[in-house]
Amino acid sequence: HNRKILLSSTKINTNMINIPIIFCFDKNMVISAGVCITSLLLNKHSETFYDFIILYNEQDLTIEYRNKLLILQDKYPNQCRISFFSIGNTFQGAYEIRNITISTYYRLLIPELMPQINSLNQTNYQTIFYLDVDTIIECDLSQVFLSCQAKTEICLFGVCESPTYHQGIDLSYWREIGCNPKSYINAGVLIMNIEALQKYNFTSLCLRHKNKKYTYQDQDIINIVCKDKISFLPLKYNYTSVLYTLALHNKEFQKLKAEEIDNANNGIIHYTGSKPWNSFCLRSEYWWYYYKHSIFKDEQFYSNYHQSIPNQILSDSSYKRIKKIFLKKLISKYFHKTN
């Protein structure tokens, strides 16, 4: 494979808690990546240092976009490092669906790539965070990272998004592809134990599936390959749109996850489904808060979006409930936040 790493001059801070976070995205998600990184940096503890590693393809994330992201290092000196690692054309021709591009598959390579990344970056990471960039992180990640780092026998940590949470849903798809529906995780936030995954031959097992037409692509692959080898994280560390909606409306889910729902504030918001930069969605005000604080902010774009909100809310059948939730969260976000 034609792989290379592009390093910045920034060094990790050995006096801090260094947390490696890997992203995989293309030019279509550069702004959301910048907003995601901004939220991480605004909410971290003073002793936390984030080492961001971006897996990319040269054609899909050109030098212009990479340089734009590197500006974040200058804005947040001694708080983060950003490096880029080219994965070549490993997934050329892989199955794509719902406008999700092949960059989503790059996370499957992480255990195989880490020895080379560690060598070039002069690190020795054996536990890493993977994050989708359609997320907002409202907490410091050191506590959950160190907790998982100590559990070296576990391959993978993630938040359960079981289809069994939905009453009456047909589970045949998940069973047919070889998943356990009860322990199915959302793969947008993962903590990976590199050595355990290497021993398990995770990457080679995943690559056997790369051309299969799974509905949820790499997420299905991860759940198939790591069946019964996953430990669950609390809901707050990947509070997807699906889980958030269940928490609002599903009484059985509310009972099942009562404690986790109560403790879900100041975690990781994951915008599965509708994206806040495209249209109004619940919790969109959180994304726009960090957009306003990011290097990508465009006042006209921001203004146009917020002028369109009333019509978008009015067109929703559950207008009154959504309006109440939206206004409560909006006031909390903009008037009670100290950042």
Q: pLDDT per residue over 286-334, tens digit each? A: 999 999 999 999 888 888 877 776 565 555 554 455 555 555 655 665 5
Q: Under a CB-based contact definition with an 8 Å cutoff, are residues 119 and 93 in contact? A: no
Find where tokens 């897996």 sit: 55
pLDDT confidence of residue 82: 95
Per-residue pLDDT in tens (0 to 9) along the chain, 339 residues: 334 445 555 677 778 999 999 999 999 999 999 999 999 999 999 999 999 999 998 888 999 999 999 999 999 999 999 999 988 766 555 444 444 456 768 899 999 999 999 999 999 999 999 999 999 999 999 999 999 999 999 999 999 999 999 988 899 999 999 999 999 999 999 999 999 999 999 999 998 888 888 888 889 999 999 998 999 999 999 999 999 999 999 999 999 999 999 999 899 999 998 999 988 888 998 999 999 999 999 888 888 877 776 565 555 554 455 555 555 655 665 555 444
pLDDT confidence of residue 212: 86
Q: How far apart are CA 259 and CA 159, in angstroms?
A: 15
pLDDT confidence of residue 149: 96
Q: What share of the chain is helix, strand, coil (3-state, %, to 5)?
A: 45, 15, 35
pLDDT digits (tens, 9 = 90+) for 232-267: 999 999 999 999 999 999 999 999 999 999 999 899
Whether the pTM exceeds 0.85: the reply is yes
Q: How far apart are CA 195 and CA 201, in angstroms?
A: 10
pLDDT confidence of residue 238: 98
- Alpha-helical runs (H) found in the chain: 30-43, 63-75, 110-121, 142-149, 172-177, 194-199, 202-207, 217-225, 241-249, 251-256, 258-262, 284-292, 299-314, 319-335
CA angle, 42 then 44 then 50, to 5°? 100
pLDDT confidence of residue 338: 45
Q: Under a CB-based contact definition with an 8 Å cutoff, are residues 105 and 25 in contact? A: no
259 three-state secondary structure: helix
